[in-house]
Amino acid sequence: MKSKKETYKTVLTIIFSVVSLAYVFPVVLVVINSLKKKTSINLKPFALPDAKSFVGFDNYVNGIEKVEFFKYFGYSLFITAASVFAILILCSMCGWYVTRVKNIWTRALKFSFIFSMVVPFQMIMFTLAKTADTLHLNTPVGIVVVYLGFGAGMAVFMFSNFAQSMPLEIEEAASIDGCNPLQMYFKVIFPIMKSTFVSVGILEIMWIWNDYLLPYLVLDVKRFKTIPIVIQYLKGGFGSVDMGAIMACIVLAILPVILIYVFCQKYIIEGVVAGAVKG
């Protein structure tokens, strides 16, 4: 029996290792090609760099200079940081509120957040773009409001379900000690929700940082661009594409998210599981 279990685990390990390699391979391929000449990328995209094709960090310098990479990196950083901060604070408050205050309005509010998760973005994207333009939300500050609306569904769902598993006695004790709702949130609820904060934060960061369609539709792209948008501007006229610079910029774009994920990955499953618990 034990040998069968060990064999089963070994087979699963091999299968998932192969699947993991399949997912990692495209990223490795991008890194390899970011160090090669454009002609070598087009002719031999799967080959390792050699003495003739290796260009070092020339593609990185070229890509950064061509599209003012760090300027638009700043826009992406601001939009991501501000949006995630707004989602975490406001949605955690809302999730806690709809869990503790039980009436027809809070139930309807929670249902509306959950319903928003199943509405395809493509159904509302043109209306959204027109509304954002009318309300002057086509700036890095304005798009934070749009991201808050789209990110609230999953965030409120996870925070509210986690709040259901929290002991009510802790909040009652804080109330007896004289805490008002804001004091209770920041001194009691906020520390308890740490794992869910990290989990939701990482998921939202990966979504907002890598998002292309929403910023392209909402932002005034003549003045403001995010990294996924600006990479497209490395395409030249008559179909010419500077693949080396594109690969280098893609590596620079995915590096921050990979680093955040690596350092915080232990909290993701913990937070997802905690947010899925029902009291």
Q: Look up residue 51 and give its two tokens.
A: 């003495």
Query: What is d(CA 110, CA 18) in angstroms, rounded to the nearest whole number?
Result: 40
| CB atoms near residue 227 (< 10 Å) | 25
Average pLDDT over the chain, rounded to an integer: 85
| CB atoms near residue 151 (< 10 Å) | 23
Identify the burial level of 142 via C-beta atoms within 10 angstroms of its C-beta, where 0-12 means exposed, 13-18 middle and 19 or more buried: middle
Q: Mean per-residue pLDDT for 105-119?
A: 87
Q: Mean per-residue pLDDT for 43-62?
A: 85
Residue 238 has pLDDT above 60, yes or no: no
Instruction: Identify the band that residue 2 occupies on the pLDDT scale cut at 50, 70 and 90.
Output: low
Residue 93 has pLDDT above 80, yes or no: yes
Among 8-12, 145-149, 208-212, name the one with the lowest average pLDDT.
8-12
Query: What is d(CA 113, CA 125) in angstroms, rounded to the nearest whole number?
Result: 18
Q: Mean per-residue pLDDT for 262-266?
A: 74
pLDDT of residue 268: 65
Instruction: Identify the band that residue 156 occupies on the pLDDT scale cut at 50, 70 and 90.
Output: very high
pLDDT of residue 110: 87
Q: Look up residue 245 and give its two tokens.
A: 């610079």
Residue 196 has pLDDT above 90, yes or no: no
Query: What is d(CA 251, CA 29) in angstroms, rounded to the nearest whole number?
Result: 10
pLDDT of residue 76: 93
Instruction: Identify the band that residue 46 occupies on the pLDDT scale cut at 50, 70 and 90.
Output: confident
Give the closest residue to 100 by CA, choosing from 174, 35, 194: 174
Identify the burial level of 35 via C-beta atoms within 10 angstroms of its C-beta, where 0-12 means exposed, 13-18 middle and 19 or more buried: buried
Residue 237 has pLDDT above 60, yes or no: no
Please state the CATH superfamily assignment of the domain spanning residues 61-275 in this structure.
Answer: MetI-like (1.10.3720.10)
pLDDT of residue 127: 87
Query: What is d(CA 259, CA 10) in angstroms, rounded to the nearest whole number?
Result: 30
Residue 169 has pLDDT above 90, yes or no: no
The ranges assigned to domains in the chain are 2-33, 61-275
Residue 279 has pLDDT above 50, yes or no: no
Decide: 215 and 262 in contact? Cβ < 8 Å: no
Q: Mean per-residue pLDDT for 112-129?
A: 85
Query: What is d(CA 233, CA 240) in angstroms, rounded to the nearest whole number?
Result: 11
Q: Mean per-residue pLDDT for 256-262?
A: 83
pLDDT of residue 278: 46
Residue 234 has pLDDT above 80, yes or no: no
The angle formed by the CA atoms of residues 182, 185 and 188, to the nearest 5 degrees, is 130
Give the closest residue to 152 by CA, choosing from 200, 211, 205, 91: 91
